[in-house]
């Protein structure tokens, strides 16, 4: 696998966390509630070492330190807790996610929306599902900033289906770069998202000095990577991911309706769970 352009990470390879409901100030579980889609208040898939999952061989991928795929049941969430020196980006997949922080920011965001917080020199925040009827699913990513102790900052971009339908939406880029994106962070990292109709394709080029992490959020996709002297392919279903290394011209084909993909791209450093 080492040396490959496409290295598949199966859903079964991810650590699944379902913590005690009293963590972060939650009430007891309601397994008999027909509105709940999981027996525990939180089901979280960890792509890298986090919380009770400790794996020094899988602590990060390039600038991506954390990618957690969280499913939070109605009227549950993460109570107030502190962060510092981390760029935190959250992409909402389904439902409504409510954010509050110690700087006075408060808002609720729905599907396709992106939220970011530069925790910088310290901030306290909470994330909650205020709905009494629907769960919320979101992808949260942590990226260390290039400099410690920067001022705290918060921002968001409301979701728009037309911006992601059968095309890339460039959601996140470096504040020092020239790209015009809804979210700017203090690190050389880009994020792209798209939702594809069945049979539709998108291309992305991973340069030889870059690497990327692709998550199949929903549906299923086929990846076809073409390098200078080889071709590789992989099929990903919902929750599967792939490490991508250049020089690779990647074509993504949707195998089902509403195939939803997220790509995080950054400088190449060779980090990999397969190293």
Spatial separation of the C-alpha atoms in residues 209 and 217, rounded to whole Å = 26
pTM over 0.95: yes
Asked whether residue 43 carries a pLDDT value surpassing 80, the answer given is: yes
Fold for the domain defined by 10-159: Jelly Rolls (2.60.120)
For 93-118, the pLDDT digits (tens) are: 999 999 999 999 999 999 999 999 99
pLDDT of residue 272 exceeding 90: yes
> Which segments of the chain belong to CATH 2.60.120.10?
10-159, 163-268
Query: For residue range 52-81, what is the model confidence (pLDDT) as tens digits?
Result: 999 999 999 999 999 999 999 999 999 989
CA distances (Å), 232 to each of 7, 145, 169, 235, in order?
10, 33, 25, 11
**What is residue 3's predicted lDDT score, i.e. its pLDDT?**
82
Q: For the chain, first and last CA: distance in Å? A: 9
HSE value, Cβ hemisphere, 13 Å, CA-based, for 124 = 5
| Whole-number Å distance between alpha carbons of 46 and 8 | 15
Distance CA 257, CA 270 (A): 34
Q: Do residues 166 and 197 lie in contact, with contact meaning Cβ atoms separated by under 8 Å? A: yes
Q: Averaged over 243-263, what is the pLDDT?
A: 97
Q: What percent of the chain has pLDDT over 70?
A: 100
CA pair distance 71, 18, nearest whole angstrom? 10
Given 2.60.120.10, 3.30.390.30, 3.40.50.1100, 3.40.50.360, which CATH number is that of 163-268? Answer: 2.60.120.10
* Cα-trace Rg, the chain: 18
């Amino acid at each position: 696998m080492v040396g490959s352009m496409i290295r598949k990470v199966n859903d079964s390879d991810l650590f699944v966390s379902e913590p005690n409901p009293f963590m972060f100030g939650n009430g007891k579980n309601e397994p008999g509630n027909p509105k709940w889609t999981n027996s525990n208040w939180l089901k979280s898939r960890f792509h890298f070492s986090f919380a009770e999952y400790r794996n020094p061989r899988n602590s990060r991928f390039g600038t991506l330190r954390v990618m957690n795929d969280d499913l939070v049941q109605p009227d549950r969430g993460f109570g107030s807790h502190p962060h510092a020196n981390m760029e935190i980006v959250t992409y909402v997949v389904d439902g409504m996610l409510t954010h509050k922080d110690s700087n006075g920011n408060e808002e609720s965001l729905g599907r396709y929306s992106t939220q970011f917080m530069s925790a910088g020199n310290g901030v306290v925040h909470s994330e909650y599902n205020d709905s009494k009827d629907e769960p919320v699913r979101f992808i949260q990513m942590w990226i260390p900033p290039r400099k410690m102790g920067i001022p705290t900052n918060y921002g968001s971009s409301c979701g728009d289906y037309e911006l992601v339908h059968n095309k890339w939406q460039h959601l996140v880029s470096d504040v020092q770069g020239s790209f015009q994106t809804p979210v700017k962070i203090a690190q050389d990292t880009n994020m792209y998202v798209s939702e594809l109709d069945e049979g539709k394709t998108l291309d992305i080029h991973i340069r030889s000095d870059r690497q990327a992490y692709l998550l199949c959020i929903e549906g299923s996709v086929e990846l076809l990577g073409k390098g200078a002297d080889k071709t590789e392919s992989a099929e990903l279903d919902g929750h599967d991911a792939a490490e991508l290394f250049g020089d690779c011209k990647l074509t993504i084909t949707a195998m089902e309706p509403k195939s939803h993909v997220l790509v995080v791209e950054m400088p190449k450093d060779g980090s990999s769970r397969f190293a």
